Amino acid sequence: MKVTYLNAELDGTKEFELFNITPNGFKVTIVYNKGNWLAERLENRTEVFENCTEVHNLFPNGFGDKAIAFESDIRATGTLRQTHEVESVTIELQ
């Protein structure tokens, strides 16, 4: 999985947590692998989360797999995506 944070590529095989650095948080764009069940339902295999205040890579999901977690204190929401289903994640300032 390729992870780009503010135009710099991060090592997607390492655990890390990123916290918002602006009042509006991050805009996160996820591109899923071809053939993924979710990718088939999305235009261009792409999903966008806005106002993310935290991104945690290799979050333990409790099922023996690793995930990438997206949280928003601004919107009071959060979600997980399995890392093996994701082709790339781009994190930008919002």
Give pLDDT tens digits for 30-85.
Answer: 999 998 888 888 889 999 999 999 999 998 877 778 999 999 999 999 999 999 89
Nearest to 93 by CA among 12, 14, 19, 16: 19
Q: End-to-end alpha-carbon separation of the chain, Å? A: 22
Structure tokens at 4: 């780009």
The pTM assigned to this predicted structure is 0.91
